[in-house]
Structure 1
Amino acid sequence: MQTSFDCVGFGICAADYLCLVPRYPNLDEKTETLEFSKQGGGPCATALVTLARLGFRTAFIGKIGTDTDGDFVLENFRSKGIDTTGVIRDENMPTNKAFIWIDGASGKKSIVLDSSHYRAVKPEEMNFDFIDDAAYVLIDGRDTAATWKIVEWAKSKQISIVLDAGSPRQDMEQLLRAVDYPIVSHSFCHQFFQTDDYEEAIRKLLNFGARAAVVTCGEIGSYGGDENGVVFQPAFQTKVVDTTGAGDVFHGAFIAGLLHGLSLEKNLRFANATAALKCQTLGGQKGVPNQETVLKFMRFNDNAG
């Protein structure tokens, strides 16, 4: 049976092991955790969790192992209402893991990835037969050959493509010419465009043919641009427990804003608010808010201002 989705995502996913610590230990030193959590992780996966939490229909395409972490990741998707028909299970690889230490004083994190045995998705492993239609496809630029397959499929169906580009990857310039909505990080701008001028970076992204482009700047806020010009939305002030996954939550919320038909300026504000609320909780997915909570938070900040 085919299903229509608001967004289909293709990318990597992982099991996140998170430790909130009072401070980072020095070499040869021990410390106790303030809080431990195991959650689903990965950029595309967390964006889809955000969309699902905000009330949209989503599906994930990607690869996990047949190990217990793979079972955990799969059940995590299903428990959040994300379609897993397109998930590939490979008995010859372990599921990706991320070990994350979060500094209790600042909420900033350090991440160690265990993905060296990951086997890239092959184009012939991908299945789109369960998808009747979708409004958006989200890609993270990994697994290059398979990425191009879903890009070509999306274009054949006239589905808009959103690119999550935290850092430059293979075929990046060609991908930027192929997608409709590139969302890049401030570090991407340094590496790919060699600039700290984010308005200039936005204009360059638009010159590749994007309908709109976004640069995320963490605790500063976000820049966005379209045919009407470039705008900046400052980040919301909030108590930060953990910044893990904040950018990924932003991506999911931004797609939600596109689905709602928000203007670029309003969409940046909505995505900033959703990401800020996530930062109040340990982990990238546990603290993702629903739409009512986001709108209430935005109204409160309007009144406070």
Structure 2
Amino acid sequence: MTVLDGDITPQDISELVALSDHAAFSEPGLARLTGVKEMASALKQAQTLTNGHVYVTQGSAGCDWLENGGRQHQPAFKVDVVDTTGAGDVFHGALAVALATSGDLAESVRFASGVAALKCTRPGGRAGIPDCDQTRSFLSLFV
């Protein structure tokens, strides 16, 4: 399984997207790849580049992806934000772990969203990353 962190880059990463099983973008990264600013249209355009799955993170607006021909949405968890440094990278790493562990897209995006939300409640990049037990405990509050 491959997970691509498709952030903004001056290079064309279409070939990497085509090779990835899961390509996760920020909104600016997705717009850069597709040349389309409207998120839903850009997501559909990016999906044509791969047989895998494409995701777009939107900070406090959550995460969208396409599954079985339809757009799916995971709302962001509402937290008291202290520091967003590294939240996107944390999301991508947690998504990879969850996909490798469960394989369920919605469950994996929810887990990654929870990890990123918890990270934002703490100062620092790497120092603010929660562990799996902390994340599961946090997610249990939102059943």
TM-score greater than 0.5 by the shorter chain:
yes
Give the structure 2 partner of residue 239 of structure 1: 80
- Shift of residue 197, structure 1, vs aligned partner: 3.0
Q: 2:47 maps to which residue?
A: 206
Preserved contact between residue 7 and residue 30 of structure 2 (Cα < 8 Å): no
CA distance in 1, matches of 2:39, 2:51: 16
Task: Give the partner amino acid of 1:173.
Answer: S
Give the drift of 1:240. 0.7
Q: Pick one of 95, 108, 113 that aligns with 1:254.
A: 95
**1:182 maps to which of 5, 23, 38:** 23
> Structure 1 counterpart of 2:65, which letter?
G
**Pairwise CA RMSD of aligned residues?**
1.6
Aligned residue type for 2:17: L
Which string of whole-angstrom CA distances, capped at 9 and with x for unpartnered residues, describes residues 221-245 of structure 1?
Answer: 1111233532011100111110000
Q: Does residue 135 of structure 2 align to residue 294 of structure 1?
A: yes
Q: 1:248: Cα distance to partner?
A: 0.4
Judging changes above 3 Å, is the alpha-carbon distance between structure 1 residues 215 and 224 closer, same or farther for their aligned structure 2 residues? same
TM-score, normalised to structure 2's length? 0.90
Q: Which runs of 5+ in 1 are unaligned?
A: 1-159
Residue type at the aligned position of 1:161: T
Aligned-partner residue type, residue 220 of structure 1: A
Instruction: Write the distance in 1 (CA, Å) between the matches of 2:93 and 2:105.
Output: 15
Q: Percent identity?
A: 33
Residue matched to 2:5: 164
SS of residue in 2 equivalent to 1:235 = coil
| Residue 215 in structure 1 maps to residue 56 in structure 2 | yes
**1:274-293 to 2 correspondences below 5 Å:** 274-293=115-134
User: What are the within-5 Å matches in structure 2 for residues 43-192 of structure 1?
Assistant: 160-192=1-33
What SS is found at the alignment partner of 1:266?
helix
Aligned to 2:71: 230
| Offset of residue 188 of structure 1 | 1.5
Alignment check: 8 A CA contact 2:87 2:120 kept: yes
3-state DSSP class of the match of 2:2?
Answer: strand
Secondary structure (helix, strand or coil) at the match of 1:183 reads strand
- How many residues end up aligned between the 2 structures? 143
Query: How far is the alpha carbon of 1:191 from its aligned partner?
Result: 2.6
Does structure 1 conserve the Cα–Cα contact (< 8 Å) formed by 2:33 and 2:46? no
CA distance in 1, matches of 2:16, 2:52: 14
Q: What is the letter of the counterpart of residue 107 of structure 2?
A: K
Letter in 1 for 2:101: H
**1:163–1:182 contact (8 Å) kept in structure 2:** yes
Q: Structure 2 unaligned runs (5+)?
A: none
Given that residues 12 and 33 in structure 2 are in contact (C-alpha distance below 8 angstroms), is that contact kept between their aligned partners in structure 1?
no
More strand by share: 1
Kindly provide the amino acid, as one letter, of the partner of residue 54 in structure 2: A
Q: Quick check: 267-276 or 166-175, which moved more?
A: 166-175
Amino acid of the residue matched to residue 81 of structure 2? V
* Greater share of residues in helix: 2
TM-score (norm 1): 0.44
CA contact (8 A) 2:31 2:39 kept: no
1:298 aligned partner, one-letter code: L
Distance 1:177 1:168 in 2: 16
Alpha-carbon distance change, 232 to 291 in structure 1, aligned in 2, over 3 angstroms? same
